[in-house]
Structure 1
């Protein structure tokens, strides 16, 4: 919970979203255009969002209730929080600019009534019960955390939806294998339309992780020569994920946590910080990379502990043209706590308490790295714990970038070992920047080592130079 009057960051808002689709939909509404009668005071935010119908949807967010954040909206969405609540919070999080929500002395009557009822203890439970009893109706919806019984019921309902989605996806894979992989590459068979329909069904099942895997399956046939073998590999991994989730109660706890996260069930930041075990270290920022789809920007920041040697990945999100809030330049050192998400191979984490300002890196010192065989072995060990892992963060020491007709490579001049560069990086100008920094000699490179090759992020020679 934030102190009274302190606005949240976009990352804090997006961490509340029940799935990726909600993040994207909320980001689209994080502009002033559809909103009217917005305001904020103390621990509440409200506004009216014009939808496709006549009357605008009334949305209220209670930021600091006794049981945690709560949301109500007159829209018919079944998700907690709905896209209107997320969009309103993102609008409010922008402290300056056209989209900001102004402070007000008090909420309007329609918002105050719900806020008062929830904070007294009765209103939130009533709204939550109404939302659960009539999920398709247009009545007000309360906070998922206001009623533990209702929250547990919603979690069970979502688990059943995901299980149904996994079962349906299994049938889709069986049909594909029965008809033959060649049919997936035959344009006369309606192209990607069946995959698009299947992906939409995974959205309905509230399984964004399964949706992402379906999108990957759809893209394989356009990946060039050898696509049938790659499609079979992706089908096998998707089948493994489906079966793992359908038998998740039989799995060891860490593998069960990995499976749940892979299908899209995640722990909220607030819950993780409250229940997780913090790991304090001097965390060195190894690299940063932003990616986006035009509506949502995702920032990845990789760190490594100087004492523990553990790798960590921090994710930050920015919506509606806003840059992600997390700003940690490459090379800085943080004395801080990190809390890892549950997993058989923990990597993603959230930043907890900091013990002082960030420090500059050791002067003229590249981080310690490893050789190519050790990097491949490290990825193999990580893959043993998480079979759906695409890559593992690695620092390579003394490798030389070499362009060639068959693709780029990072070569070790001492052992003659070489690691191909991920083909998806070939069009990036940073490969030529890496070559310029190298000058034909060995450098230290941080990136991700995976089954497609090595994806460079940062190089040092001897000072860190972001790619």
Structure 2
């Protein structure tokens, strides 16, 4: 069976849509009616001409190994509705025997292949500083600015603890936004993000004083770690630098594996200016988890989209620190293919053990990616739980951690009162479910 013949499901295609409008518009183009001269290659690409409002049909081609898209339509969305429609047609009916791409599609595919074939060494040398001594001086100046910002933040936290937390609800968010801006000026964006989160806690509902004190303690720990970073072991020092906001280059050899896409979800920054897409992967051979991030500016979603349930034969390079989770995808060797069954899971107790082990490497780690095998979702008066099928232990689902309440009921309907496999993020407040696998078909379902 060729790669072109291994088709995705309609749900996996629609997961690529940048918004609901594109999802609906693409669905209308998912039949053979508007399409002509469709085809696909054995190497993992599909193409076709889609009839539009003008006399000239739109030329649409998709490289499944990305996936990446090219269309002659004027849309600025990626993928556009024509690319979605072509993929839906391919998913439903296939596009016949593998064939050679027409010139207009072949040129673009050849450009992508040539770009991917560039030597890795060339890209690595391009990122090296032209003047190492000047780069060292810049790093020292930035470290000094961060140190000054950390000292200011420590004073702010000390004032908060001395004055007590009682007035924080009335004080409002503005004071913390001002402190976050000072951290941005100090070139410590990681600290700025944590300060902004700290400012939202007083309005987060019952129990907020305890949560605020916890976050203050973690911020204090990070401040002290930065001030003594030179004396820390290198793995922990790399984590501290990453948490403060210093960019870390990918390190070590590329890890080639078959990476299963476990979840993909977006979050928007408090000011609405940035959309962050989190894509969780697991290496089927290595068992290693990986977190790939992509970002979208205002009005545009992130471009990288990997449907849940697909497997990528690809290389990944990992950044130092952060418990070794953050990764960047490199060369891909084939088109993504569906995974035929649910991934192997662990018990709720083993999930907590895994999170505890990760905390030893990164004390500021909010959660650890875990697949729970054979758990039952249980709604209750004091919140939801995911209980082991044997009933020996359970993990709470935090109200603030569940993406949507409808997602929890979606999970309950999927389980039908029986055990299901669930992927999510296990942290100190509980387990946030992101994806579940239907017991009868083993198809992944994104919760939310």
* Aligned twin of 1:395: 371
SS of the aligned residue for 1:164 comes to helix
What is the count of residue pairs matched by the alignment?
323
Corresponding position of 1:47: none
1:261 to 242, 252, 257: 242
**SS of aligned partner of 1:173:** helix
Of 175, 186, 192, the residue aligned with 2:159 is 175
Corresponding residue for 1:361? 339
Q: CA deviation at 1:336?
A: 1.4
CA 96–261 in structure 1, closer or farther in 2 if over 3 Å, else same: farther
Q: 1:238 pairs with 219, 223, 228, which one?
A: 219
How far 1:373 sits from its partner (Å)? 0.4
Counterpart for residue 135 of structure 1: none
Mapped pair 1:334 → 2:312: yes
Moved beyond 6 Å, runs of 4+: none
- How far residue 194 of structure 1 moved from its aligned partner, in angstroms, is 2.5
Counterpart CA distance in 1 for 2:227 and 2:393 is 42
Which residue of 290, 311, 321 corresponds with 1:343?
321
* 1:226 and 2:207 are equivalent in the alignment: yes
Query: In the alignment, does 2:191 pair up with 1:210?
Result: yes
Per the alignment, do residues 400 and 98 of structure 1 end up closer, same or farther by CA in structure 2, a change over 3 Å counting?
Answer: closer
Name 1:297's counterpart in structure 2.
275
Shift of 1:165: 0.6
After TM superposition, list the pairs within 5 Å mapping 1:444-463 onto structure 2. Answer: 444-461=421-438, 462-463=442-443
Q: TM-score, normalised by structure 2?
A: 0.68
Deviation at 1:170, TM superposition (A): 0.5
CA distance in 2, matches of 1:305, 1:171: 44
Residue from 422, 439, 444 that aligns with 2:416: 439
Residues 437 and 213 of structure 1, relative CA distance in 2, 3 Å threshold: same
Contact 1:407–1:426 (CA<8 Å) still a contact in 2? no
Q: Provide the C-alpha distance between the structure 1 equivalents of 2:367 and 2:72, rounded to a whole number of angstroms.
A: 37
The CA distance in 1 between the partners of 2:322 and 2:369, in whole Å, is 16
SS at match of 1:339: strand
1:280 lines up with 2:256 in the alignment = yes
Distance 2:302 2:264 in 1: 12
8 A Cα contact 1:176 1:184, kept in partner: no
Report the equivalent of 2:289. 311
Q: TM-score, normalised by structure 1?
A: 0.65
Question: Counterparts of 1:357 and 1:307 in 2: how far apart (Å)?
Answer: 18
Cα distance, 1:369 vs structure 2:
0.1
Q: What is the rounded CA distance, in whole Å, between the counterparts of 1:144 and 1:443 in structure 2?
A: 48
Q: Secondary structure of 1:221's match?
A: helix
Structure 2 regions of 5+ residues with no counterpart? 1-70, 78-126
In the other structure, the counterpart of 2:445 is 465
How many Å separate the matches in 2 of 1:431 and 1:184? Answer: 32
Cα deviation, 1:138-192, whole Å, max 9, x if unaligned, reads xxxxx9945433332222211111111111000111111111222334x2xx433
In structure 2, C-alpha distance between the alignment counterparts of 1:345 and 1:144, rounded to whole Å:
25
Q: Are 1:301 and 1:328, in contact at CA under 8 Å, matched by a contact in 2? A: yes
SS of the residue 2:203 aligns to: coil
Task: Return the match for 2:399 from 423, 426, 434.
Answer: 423
Per-residue deviation, 1:243: 0.6
Q: Conserved in 1, the CA contact under 8 Å of 2:243 and 2:322?
A: no
Equivalent-residue separation in structure 1 for 2:407 and 2:161 (angstroms): 40
Shift of 1:356: 1.8
Cα 1:225–1:322 change in 2 (3 A) is: closer
**Secondary structure, aligned partner of 2:303:** coil
Once the two structures are superposed, the pairs formed by residues 42-57 of structure 1 within 5 Å of their partners are none
Superposed CA deviations along residues 44-92 of structure 1, whole A, max 9, x for unmatched, are xxxxxxxxxxxxxxxxxxxxxxxxxxxxxxxxxxxxxxxxxxxxxxxxx
2:242/2:322 contact within 8 Å kept: no
Q: Does 1:323 align with 2:301?
A: yes
Mapped contact 1:395–1:444 kept (Cα < 8 A):
yes
In structure 2, the residue matched to 1:201 is 182
Instruction: For 1:9-88, list aligned pairs within 5 A.
Output: none
Shift of 1:95: 10
How far is the alpha carbon of 1:401 from its aligned partner? 1.1
Residue by residue over 1:324-353, the C-alpha shift from the partner in whole angstroms, topping out at 9 and shown as x without a partner, is 221211111111111111016100100012
* Deviation readout 1:69-123 (Å, 9 max, x if unpaired): xxxxxxxxxxxxxxxxxxxxxxxxx9985889xxxxxxxxxxxxxxxxxxxxxxx
Please give the per-residue CA displacement for 1:387-422, whole angstroms capped at 9, x wherever unaligned: 101100000011111112211111123133111112
Q: Is the 8 A contact 1:423 1:453 kept in 2?
A: no
Aligned-residue RMSD, C-alpha: 2.3
Question: How do 1:75-114 residues align onto structure 2 when only pairs under 5 Å count?
Answer: none
SS for the counterpart of 2:330 is: strand
Deviation, 1:295, is: 2.7
CA change 1:184–1:322 in 2 (3 A) is: closer
